[in-house]
Copies of this chain bind each other. A is one copy, B any other.
Amino acid sequence: MADKSKIWGGRFQSGPSGIAERISESISFDHVLYDVDIRGSIAHVNMLERCGILSEESSHKITDALRSIHAEIEQNGLEFSWALEDIHMHIEKILTDRIGDDGKRMHTGRSRNDQVAVDTHLYLKETIEGQSGLLLSVMKTILEMAEKYRGKIWAGYTHLQIAQPVLLSHYILSWFWKFARDFQLMQFAYSETCQNPLGAAAMGGPNYPVDPDMVREELGFGKSYENSMDAVSNRDYQLSYHFFASRLSLHISRFCEDMIIYNTSEFATIRFSDAVTTGSSIMPQKKNPDIAEILRSKSARITGNLNSLMMNLKGLPTTYNRDLQDDKVYLFDTIKNVTLILEGMKELLTNVIFFPDKLQKNLEAGFGTATDVADYLVAGYHLPFRDAHHISGAIVAIAEQKKVFINQISPADIATILKPFEDKYNIKINLNPAEFTVEKSVSRRGGSLSTSPEMVERQMDKARKLLEEIRLTCF
């Protein structure tokens, strides 16, 4: 006898086996869609009524019941049944139990395919709206830190080797611009969620004169899909969100790597407050940067979800295949982790103290102004850069060998290094290493990208202006 608990039961002579049921079910993860599912159904039913496909009486009965069910789930949650496979079946079952045959009319002119599609579009659209606030808040916090440390010196690293002095605000702002690009990418992903797929039905459009535009408007989408087969097979909007999440998580992983290294007792140029560190169960002296480490690791998980969805889609026949059910597993997991890393990033930022004074010493020990020596020789004596670079390199070599700072090298050593070049170009070079301080180094930097104090002020102005103007738009 047919399993009547399945809505398509008419044709089945026996119900699915226990294992098959367990494999098929999605209620264990798609239950979070109850809110958008009910709102999508209400919009659909309203449209059916306005298009004359459903009577006013049936329509009101359905939408009233759906609103009650929504309120009840909000308050009491929902009891799952594996036999009722997904959230859509659960809600339809409650509805039909409650209002009878009219409940069965809710599904007129749509299919599970466009119903699920509208649910995931709407759910992701509104998720992004919420997360955009978190991202802006991270950007704002970064800008405030840059303002707070205005004028302080920091070391710029390449290859984890001290390269040159920069302003700490410049270093901090370098993260601002990465997150600003992430916001643009978030906007791109958002605009791909702003499309209404309801009206695609199974994949060719319904046998009713529906008006997708009414649904679009009621649910707040910017436009409708142009093609029903595209609408139900499309996962681009999810891929774009996963990619946004991946790029964001990579930026955070790089920031955390910096912080974890700077937080070692060997660097000791930043320090986390207790709120974001933990102790060791066995080593009492440890103060481990666990939160930064966990945030660093999340890029692995988030990009894993992007990968999984890409592999899932690879070589999949159009239009809908059940493989696609797993898209929600990846999506919900990444959504959760994006919220976590954005909140965690803000928590980290508000719990880190930079020690620019410590850096100044490191910079001197690390010969961070050697480039300035070379550039001085080019600008002042028109030496070819490569020769100037050789001189500066030789000075560093002596400083290293004698274990002194650049500004402690003896005039005799300097003279020995300069001699061949003075002879070659027939000039007399006046070079006093003591003049090459980190403060002068920073101020001397030219061009709009540079770390010179004026340019960093200009950056902060631009960043401030950006934060005032930037908004998600649904187009």
Contacts and interface: CB of A to CB of B under 8 A. Distances in A.
Contacts of A351: 17
A126 interface: no
Interface stretch (A64-72, A73-81, A442-450): A442-450
Given A161-B264, A174-B227, A325-B294, A309 B318 contact: no
A8 B279 contact: yes
A132 interface: no
Given A254-B316, A297-B326, A112 B282 contact: yes
Contacts of A379: 207-208
A466 to B, nearest CB: 10
Main secondary structure of the interface of A (DSSP, over half): helix
Interface string A195-207: 0010111111111
Interface centre among A158, A185, A254, A282 (most CB of B within 10 A): A282
Nearest to A166: B204
Nearest to A107: B385
17 contacts: A10-B279, A11-B287, A20-B347, A105-B385, A107-B281, A160-B289, A161-B287, A163-B202, A166-B204, A174-B319, A204-B451, A233-B254, A257-B315, A264-B267, A284-B389, A285-B368, A307-B307
Given A11-B279, A171-B229, A278-B24, A286 B206 contact: no
B384 A101 contact: yes
Interface in A305-321: 305, 307-321
A177 B452 CA distance: 48
A185 B310 contact: no
B264 A462 contact: no
B164 A204 contact: yes
Contacts of A113: 158, 282
Given A206-B445, A284-B393, A321 B160 contact: yes
Taking residues whose C-beta sits less than 8 angstroms from the other chain, chain A's interface range is 35 or more
Interface string A270-295: 00001110111111111111110111
Copies of this chain, how many? 4
Contacts of A294: 23-24, 322-323, 325-326
Given A253-B315, A314-B300, A389-B282, A445 B205 contact: yes
A122 interface: no
A261 interface: yes
Interface stretch (A32-40, A359-367, A407-415): A359-367
A178 interface: yes
A133 interface: no
